[in-house]
Structure 1
Amino acid sequence: MAADPGLFTPRSVTWQMHGDPMMWVAGIRALYLQALHPRAVRGVMQNSDFRRDAWGRLMRTANFVGTTTYGTTEAAERAGARVRKIHSMLRATDPETGEEYGIDEPDLLLWVHCAEIDSYLHVLRRSGYPLTDAQADRYIAEHRVSARLVGLDPDAVPADRAEMAAYFVKVRPELAAGPEARDVDDFLRRPPTHPLLVPARELLWRRVAGLAYASLPSYAHELYGRAAPAPATVTRHLRFTGTLLRAVPARVRWQLPPKHILRAMARLGPDARPAPYKLEPQVAILDGPGEGAADSDGGDGTRWGRPG
């Protein structure tokens, strides 16, 4: 019997993209963006000690993404069921109105989903990951699967860049940098650490978090109240960081726990190794004449294409 390739399979855009080291920068950008939805971030802050467990939250999200991308179908479905069960038991309260609401409301789950997918796609493409417009659309469509796992109706989730852009235009009036967003911002800029590690935090973490913040859409900079850096400068920094991180051998990077990719390759064989070049043969199939060459707008209103 053939080994189970999982929900996405090694032929998916997701399988190739999620093996890229810039996913860590993208994940931090997603946290910054998600925090701008007051109802969504309130649900996080009122149900967890974010300041003490922010690293744990980031690692749990990374583990969920790794499991659903590279794990077996059973493991992915089990991870989704666990997330849905936890969310179904949690409530949040609006301090101004006293309204109590579930954090598994579809609108809140949709915001978290779109902010993540937007961030993953935006950061990777802008940092030089070779992805055509058609493949970017395919990536967004593939993640209707992950949306289902957390409890969303796949048909209500954006399926391409145009739908993602329309979603962000629609949700924009609901966004604000409230007290909870300020807490997230403060943590990401100056995470508590052992005194001996403060120099490393200043040298490394602040650069990574600063780059993630810099890559946010212009309206996010306005809401946080800090001037947006020049887009061309941000793009250069993203490309430099991407080049630097991708120079580290993949086998070395993938040794970090929980080793989802290495376990997938052990299950499916070496041909399952994720790599950008495996997307190239799809261009002729997915793109019509002229497609994949021109840049287009992403969900946050910035350019998805590979900026110069």
Structure 2
Amino acid sequence: MRSIATVGTGPGWFEPDGVVWRVHGDLSTLVGGVAALLGQGTHPSALAGVQRHSTYRTDPWGRLAGTARWLVVTTFGSAELAEQEAARVRGMHRRVRGTSEDGRPYSASDPALLRWVHLAFTDAFLAAQDACGRDLSARFGPRWGDVYVADWARSARALGAGDLPTSRAELADALHEHRPGLVPVPDDLRTFITGPTGLGRTERLVYGRVARAGALVLSPSLADLAGVPGRGRAAASPVHRVELRAARWSLRGLHLALGPHSPSEQAARFRLGWEPRPDWLT
């Protein structure tokens, strides 16, 4: 957050206060994060890379912090800082390579694999915003989702991905095209994503609601492989609709408690001269 506030002086990769800022500044990203992990786990190469090179089992919150860093720095940081972060992630990806249990080679730098991770991420965050976030259509129009898909593609191109969708429809088609090469998410991974260790009683209650919502917004193209309902079945089930509504109101209550902007967005607004120096920046 200090770097977001102090490195560079101008706007970053995305329009300040634009669609990407609003989606990634919404607490619905908590729901989207669960859905993204479930979706990404259906790809055998992505799964092999995570299982063999990630510390998610021994240090799940540290692993989550690393992913969150990429999200907030590229969203709210200056162009200079975003380029530095992209270079850091590209360097990490070069070290993640090997052979899966079925003999297929994998590399985190593979453009096709980078494209897949981006597709699953983008679909999950877009669906979570639709289901649990604040309505953006009044501010950005009914096609705000297309703008988000097109704009957020810049982050994946910076890592080496190509042939990226620029609309909701293209995103849905791209996900469905991957279906023949996907595999079921292992039971232990799904259990871990939906109920990680190290949570207190209250934290388990909050995370449980978020995780159930994440399982309900996952793409219909991936949901059965992940062993969760997905948004197709959620839309048809009164019980699931109630669960999503409960998650939405829980996040809105948390939003009221935390204030209008996340610390990362506060840092960006200070860098741009829109707001005074945050109290935590001393």
1:246 aligned residue (252, 259, 264) = 252
Number of aligned residues: 261
CA RMSD of aligned residues (A): 2.5
Q: Structure 1 253/150 Cα, relative in aligned 2: closer, same or farther at 3 Å?
A: farther
Q: Structure 1 115/227 Cα, relative in aligned 2: closer, same or farther at 3 Å?
A: closer
- Asked whether the equivalents of residues 265 and 271 of structure 1 are also in contact (C-alpha less than 8 Å), the reply is yes
Any residues of structure 2 matched to 1:109-148 within 5 Å, and which?
Answer: 109-127=114-132, 129-132=134-137, 133-148=142-157
Q: Structure 1 253/107 Cα, relative in aligned 2: closer, same or farther at 3 Å?
A: farther
Q: CA deviation at 1:251?
A: 7.9
- Asked whether the equivalents of residues 158 and 167 of structure 1 are also in contact (C-alpha less than 8 Å), the reply is yes
Normalised TM-score (structure 1): 0.76
Any residues of structure 2 matched to 1:177-216 within 5 Å, and which?
Answer: 177-178=184-185, 181-193=186-198, 197=200, 199-216=201-218
Q: Structure 1 246/190 Cα, relative in aligned 2: closer, same or farther at 3 Å?
A: closer
Gaps of 5+ in 2: 1-7, 277-282
2-side partners of 1:211 and 1:28: how far apart?
Answer: 9
2-side partners of 1:226 and 1:238: how far apart?
Answer: 14
1-side partners of 2:265 and 2:271: how far apart?
Answer: 10
Give the stretch that moved more between structures: 185-194 or 260-269: 185-194
Q: CA deviation at 1:218?
A: 3.7
Q: CA deviation at 1:101?
A: 2.9
Q: Structure 1 233/263 Cα, relative in aligned 2: closer, same or farther at 3 Å?
A: same
Partner of 2:38: 32
Normalised TM-score (structure 2): 0.83
Q: Structure 1 136/221 Cα, relative in aligned 2: closer, same or farther at 3 Å?
A: closer
Gaps of 5+ in 1: 273-308
Q: CA deviation at 1:227?
A: 5.6
- Asked whether the equivalents of residues 74 and 155 of structure 2 are also in contact (C-alpha less than 8 Å), the reply is yes
Q: CA deviation at 1:62?
A: 1.2
- Asked whether the equivalents of residues 254 and 262 of structure 1 are also in contact (C-alpha less than 8 Å), the reply is no
Q: CA deviation at 1:71?
A: 0.7
Q: CA deviation at 1:249?
A: 4.9
Q: CA deviation at 1:243?
A: 2.9
1:21 aligned residue (20, 27, 33) = 27
